[in-house]
A and B are shown apart, each in its own frame.
Chain A
Amino acid sequence: MVRLSRLLRLRKSGFDTPLRVSRFRYVAHGANSLFQNAEVEVVENFDGTCHLKSGNIIRLALDGCTNRPFYRIVVSKRTDPRDCEMEQIGTFDPMPNMLNEKLCSINFERLKYHLALGAHPVKSVRRLIGLSGFLPLDPTLLIFAEGLKRRRKIEELISSQGNATEDDESSNS
């Protein structure tokens, strides 16, 4: 018998996940000496490769009022509730302002620090970092954007065909 929670989790993520971004920060063999921080652990896989083990996650914490979201970019543990934090790194405003801009602020110094010690940024934060130009673009973003374009082309074709048929009918009748 399979647990219900496991099934729900699979249904959300998709039974076939074609793309999976690496969660770990891979590190050279014998890199223990480089890190002075005692909280850092270097774990050896069966392959012989090593990666940093840290439960830190960079994600968006939701604040604001009803019908008015406002996110804070935050470093926390996976098990913590959504709005708790160890450190705040920036902000993101998803509602565009009078000049049609969405404002985002990031403290790149602390970002570098936490990324180097093995924190894993979530999909939304990864996309923001890629759009800002600090790191290369996220592959999930590009795939989504290509899919968007294809869908819009199809919609345009359908609407243009619909208009063409209407014109033919009006001209004929």
Chain B
Amino acid sequence: MMSLRWRILFSLSSRRLCRTVYSGPDGLPDFTREYEKNTDTSWEARKLKNIRQRVIDKEKGKKFEDLEKIVDDEARRIAPLSHFIFSDDPAVCNKDLMLGQRMEILGNPSSDGKNNIKEKYSKSSNLDPDFIRPEVQEILKRIRGKDPKIIFKTKLERNKEMPKIQLLSDEQLKQKYEEALEAAEKFLEMPPVMTEREPIDEELAFDEKLDGYEHSSLVFTDISEDLNRNERFIVVRETNGKLRKATWEERDRMLQIYFPKPQRDILKPELFDDLTIALKKEFHENVLQQILIHFDPDSANYINLTKQVYDDIDEKGAFELLRSTRFFGGLAFYLTKYKSIDNLLIYFLHSKLLEEASDLINLHYLIKPKSEVSQQIQDIDDAVEKVKIFVANDATNARAIKLALNPFLKSHQKRTGKQRSVQ
């Protein structure tokens, strides 16, 4: 029992300690459970009630307007992707670097014309066979565009080096400009297009005697160094007593815990639950960067999410957003293989890029060849006639393409001197 003097001193000191933040008329919180009664209409009681109601609603799955703000902030995040995604040394790709080391994989330019993609990637068996072909790769690089304003635009990053000032003549300036454009190809390195990886479903042992020994499952990972990322043993012992290999999702999580990749989260952001919120505001490039960072290009999540983004762009016709970025090749490849090229063609014709249109049609007949038509197209060089053949054979939206073709036909008529009606 405390004496009177001690009680007074204690109460004074405790009030002083508690009243650090002014949160209303009384600094101390309300420890009596009067808030449960509905008679209390003070602002504190209403606040507590609101908070409790929000928690209950969120568990039931109700969506609030605040989610849009959170998703918006996540979409605006400019993910500082390293400019060189994949290095040329396969040893650097496959090794797992320990915590604390910097993961900036700077790749040296591939001399000797080593453009073989299979040597770059460790998971070369899952690569799409149509994507690997060198003819397809050349076409995709040509379609992409190379606007230096978009490639070298300033991002919200601190410069690691001070800017250099040099005195140059006009010729030297031109030289530097061209060298910079050549170096810009590293900024435009295409992420690979892969087929979905097969699920793991292997059982190593089953011990019935361990049934009920543990209430939770155990996950074991192998931490030995100098091992390929795909060759590590990650094993799960369940409460049944069953020993099995871990699924791909569990594998990704464990490898991120013990051998992390930069800027990748273990609990994925809320962006990916509902992409439509972010895509309304035209953050397609940022979203694609974040998908690349968080998921492997093998996984089902990556393929589904990129599908959503590409479909959205296709519907809106907003191909400018990805023009002269590294994601345009994947867009074009997806549309030719799994969907129709029509909207892309219309975009090229509206913006008067005839070479790219002809390249697109060549791409289409490389991936989906037809014996009669592909020979015709190889002989012809004129873009307008290629488009006409394509419209006759394989187009789904023929009317819109013909409308876009009209201005080119009139100029064609003026040169030849004939007048023809548009069919």
Contact = CB atoms under 8 A, between A and B. Distances in A.
Interface string B358-392: 00000000000000000000000000000000000
Given A104-B220, A107-B223, A148 B213 contact: yes
Given A101-B218, A133-B204, A142-B209, A107 B243 contact: no
B137 to A, nearest CB: 40
B12 interface: no
Contacts of A109: 224-225
Contacts of B224: 107-110
B290 to A, nearest CB: 22
Contacts of A106: 220-223
Contacts, number: 77
B212 A132 contact: no
Contacts of B254: 103
Contacts of B210: 131, 137, 141, 145
17 contacts: A96-B215, A96-B216, A101-B219, A102-B219, A103-B254, A107-B225, A109-B224, A110-B224, A128-B220, A131-B210, A132-B220, A132-B235, A132-B237, A133-B205, A141-B210, A145-B212, A145-B213
Interface in B214-252: 214-225, 233, 235-237, 243
A105 interface: yes
B243 A133 contact: yes
Interface in B288-320: none
B258 interface: yes
B30 interface: no
Contacts of A146: 209
Interface string A138-158: 000110111011001000000
Given A104-B218, A152-B212, 19 more contacts: A96-B216, A100-B216, A101-B218, A102-B217, A102-B218, A102-B219, A103-B221, A103-B257, A106-B223, A107-B224, A109-B225, A131-B210, A132-B220, A133-B220, A133-B237, A145-B210, A145-B213, A148-B212, A149-B212
A145 to B, nearest CB: 5
Which 9 A-B pairs have CB atoms at the shortest separation, nearest pair first? Answer: A96-B216, A132-B220, A109-B224, A107-B223, A100-B216, A145-B213, A105-B221, A105-B223, A131-B237
B149 to A, nearest CB: 46
Nearest to B241: A145
Contact of A137 (B207, B215, B223): B207
Given A133-B205, A137-B207, A145-B210, A101 B223 contact: no
Interface band, chain A? 20 to 34
A143 to B, nearest CB: 10
A109 to B, nearest CB: 4
Interface in A93-125: 96, 100-110
Contact of A145 (B204, B209, B222, B257): B209
A89 to B, nearest CB: 8
Nearest to B258: A105
Nearest to B204: A133
State the main secondary structure of chain B at its contact with A.
mixed
B223 A90 contact: yes
A92 B212 CA distance: 20
Contacts of B219: 101-104
A128 B218 CA distance: 9
Interface string B328-357: 000000000000000000000000000000
B218 A131 contact: yes
Contacts of A132: 218, 220, 235, 237
A164 to B, nearest CB: 24
Nearest to B207: A137
Contacts of B221: 103-106
Given A132-B235, A133-B243, A101 B217 contact: yes
Contacts of B225: 107, 109
A56 to B, nearest CB: 19
A107 B222 contact: yes
Contacts of A105: 220-223, 258
A128 to B, nearest CB: 8
B161 to A, nearest CB: 38
A133 B216 contact: no
Contacts of A103: 219, 221, 254, 257
A35 B214 CA distance: 40
A133 to B, nearest CB: 5
Interface in B191-220: 204-205, 207, 209-220
